[in-house]
């Protein structure tokens, strides 16, 4: 995304009163740190490039307990099955026995493509044709329990080879055109289990029944290495990681970290064994990994030794290995506004991952722009699960191509750099992947200085596609292109969220947000740009669609 200069005062800033009790307050650093944090996907892109995703990245999946409704049986809801997968692809999401829900991913247990029921791809609970019904305009949203659906227009382009059935944008949605809501039948497909069910290469995804929802238990762990100022096996986290990498082997390595502040950039290579970093105190504020860097300053400040793209080079902690875990830690990028000066490339990643099966449990990840970067390698699905954690920032501060679940988390907007608003989510999901980001059972909040209705929920990244003509003529035309996916459900939203139009134009291409296929390039078909894939269900709070 395009960088924007920001200031980040990580002092004791109270959050908005409507947030739930006991949520994170910004007592982040011992000293007040006016940090400029980078936004989500804001690195330079090559004009005309058709690559749909960044170089590599991890997906995410986070949650507490699995919903008992996962795998619920039943025939497809009215409106018919989701679009069929192309040859060689897995058919939809795992775990739904019986027929697929209309307009959403179909049962992966079925072979071949799912037959569409009469009425096309309309959503359950919506109009059977997927086109009838009225939105009620862009003002007061229609409650998810209502039977109306906004007009969906023409069907979006189907995913190319190897796509998941249902990866195309849904039709027959409830709510309004600017704030679409899932029907109950559609929402049944967007579960933690379905998000985390499959991994590997798009077109030949493998279901491995990964279930990290219990979190990370280190109560009976005997650490391989201990990091402490005195009395440990190493005095820096990087030294312990290097020892684990040198020892090789496939067994998980546990690195215990004593309370304290560790100022260093940490690199965990892709070849490293599974590693768990954990603080000995259950209070994540007591054990902090911090470093001050940003995308435009890596020449002067130094780049993370893992390398990668310029966002990853500025990261405090890069974890490129599979099976990375972190518990009871704060990971922060502490770059200051004085360090930024007049810089434009101000993205300041705190944590970046690219591997599969990444778990973050009871952690705080803090910066401004581009705080948390969860990515997948091109044509692949990596998964990330984030549980009972806090992510704070201002612009695109949760971004990347990974499949990630944020379960029971606090997503906090910090207003000091952008008092007029920003957005937390910037997924870069491959169009063939039905599952990008799932925010479930969480709280979306802001500090006390944030105004009402000034912060969006998110936008697509559209990485590597430069502008709208390139997105349509090169990226979409290739059949493999970014079209970020995000679902927010059972989550409390405070008053800072823009209620009428919480989804905004894409970061790189500036592709206007549209919940239906749109004529985004003059002279081309009305379906030139596919619909965005941003959905909500059963949220509450002053910033939710109901405002309650």
pLDDT at 523: 81
Tokens of residue 173, six digits: 């949605």
pLDDT at 166: 60
- Break the chain into its structural domains and give their ranges: 60-65+221-537, 68-130+147-190
Q: Using alpha carbons, list the distances in angstroms from residue 541 to 85, 144, 491, 497, 538.
A: 37, 15, 8, 10, 10
Report the side by side order of strands in the sheet with 372-374: 266-268, 317-319, 351-353, 372-374, 395-400, 423-427
* 235 or 91: which leads in pLDDT: 235
Res. 300: pLDDT tops 90: no
Question: Which of 6-15, 94-103, 262-271, 509-518 shows the lowest per-residue confidence on average (mean pLDDT)?
Answer: 94-103
Res. 319: pLDDT tops 60: yes
Task: Return d(Cα 511, Cα 27) in angstroms, integer.
Answer: 37
Please count the other Cβ atoms lying within 10 Å of the Cβ belonging to residue 250.
7
Tokens 């954990």: give the residue: 278
CB neighbour burial string for 114-124, b if at least 16 within 10 angstroms, e if fewer = bebbebbbbbb
User: pTM for the full model?
Assistant: 0.74
Please count the other Cβ atoms lying within 10 Å of the Cβ belonging to residue 206.
11
Domain spanning 60-65+221-537 has what CATH number? 2.160.20.10
Q: What is the pLDDT of residues 471-503, one digit of tens each?
A: 999 999 999 999 999 999 999 999 999 999 999
Q: Which of 442, 337, 340 is nearest to 398 (CA)?
A: 442
Task: Return d(Cα 154, Cα 129) in angstroms, integer.
Answer: 11
CA gyration radius for the chain? 22
pLDDT category of residue 7 using cuts at 50, 70 and 90: very low
Mean pLDDT of 29-40: 34
Active site residue 394: no
- Contact, 130 vs 171, CB < 8 A? yes
Active site residue 370: yes
Res. 13: pLDDT tops 50: no
pLDDT at 74: 31
Catalytic residue among 293, 318, 370, 394: 370
Q: Pairing mode, if any, of strands 380-381 and 198-201?
A: antiparallel
What are the φ and ψ backbone dihedral angles of 153, each rounded to 5 degrees?
A: 70, -155
């Amino acid at each position: 995304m395009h960088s924007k200069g920001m200031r980040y005062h990580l002092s004791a800033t109270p959050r908005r009163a409507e947030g739930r009790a006991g949520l994170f307050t910004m007592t982040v650093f011992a000293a007040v740190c006016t940090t400029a944090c980078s936004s989500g996907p804001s690195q330079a892109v090559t004009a005309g490039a058709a690559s749909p995703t960044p170089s590599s990245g991890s997906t995410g999946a986070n949650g507490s307990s699995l919903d008992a409704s996962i795998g619920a049986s039943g025939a497809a809801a009215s409106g018919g099955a989701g679009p069929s997968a192309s040859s060689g692809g897995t058919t939809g999401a795992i775990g739904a026995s019986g027929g697929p829900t209309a307009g959403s991913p179909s049962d992966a247990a079925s072979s071949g493509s799912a037959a569409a029921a009469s009425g096309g791809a309309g959503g359950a609970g919506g109009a059977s044709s997927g086109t009838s019904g009225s939105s009620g305009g862009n003002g007061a949203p229609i409650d998810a329990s209502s039977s109306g659906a906004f007009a969906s227009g023409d069907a979006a382009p189907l995913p190319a080879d190897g796509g998941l059935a249902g990866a195309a944008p849904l039709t027959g949605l409830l709510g309004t055109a600017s704030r679409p809501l899932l029907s109950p039948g559609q929402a049944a497909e967007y579960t933690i289990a379905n998000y985390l069910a499959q991994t590997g290469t798009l077109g030949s995804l493998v279901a491995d029944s990964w279930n990290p929802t219990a979190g990370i238990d280190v109560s009976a762990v005997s650490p391989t290495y201990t990091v402490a100022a005195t009395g440990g096996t190493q005095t820096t986290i990087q030294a312990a990681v290097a020892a684990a990498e040198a020892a090789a082997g496939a067994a998980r390595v546990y690195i215990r970290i004593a309370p304290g502040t560790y100022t260093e950039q940490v690199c965990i290579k892709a070849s490293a064994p599974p590693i768990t970093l954990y603080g000995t105190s259950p209070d994540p504020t007591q054990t902090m990994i911090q470093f001050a860097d940003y995308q435009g300053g890596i020449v002067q400040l130094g780049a993370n030794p893992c390398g990668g793209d310029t966002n990853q080079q500025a990261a405090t902690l890069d974890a490129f290995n599979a099976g990375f875990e972190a518990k009871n830690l704060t990971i922060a990028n502490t770059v200051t506004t004085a360090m930024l000066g007049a810089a434009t490339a101000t993205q300041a990643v705190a944590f970046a991952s690219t591997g599969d099966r990444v778990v973050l449990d009871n952690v705080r990840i803090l910066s401004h722009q581009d705080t948390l970067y969860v990515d997948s390698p091109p044509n692949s699905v990596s998964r990330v699960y984030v549980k009972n954690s806090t992510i704070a920032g201002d612009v695109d501060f949760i971004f990347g191509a990974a499949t990630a679940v944020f379960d029971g988390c606090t997503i906090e907007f910090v207003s000091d750099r952008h008092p007029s608003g920003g957005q937390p989510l910037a997924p870069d999901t491959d169009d063939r992947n039905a599952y990008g980001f799932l925010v479930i059972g969480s709280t979306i909040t802001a500090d006390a200085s944030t105004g009402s209705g000034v912060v969006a929920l998110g936008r697509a990244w559209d990485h590597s596609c430069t502008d709208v003509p390139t997105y349509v003529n090169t990226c979409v035309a290739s059949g493999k292109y970014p079209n970020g996916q995000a679902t927010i459900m059972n989550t409390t939203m405070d008053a800072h969220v823009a209620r009428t139009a919480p989804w905004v134009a894409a970061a790189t291409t500036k592709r206007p947000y549209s919940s239906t296929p749109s004529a985004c390039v003059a002279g081309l078909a009305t379906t030139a740009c596919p619909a965005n894939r941003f959905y909500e269900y059963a949220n509450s709070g002053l910033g939710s669609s109901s405002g309650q």
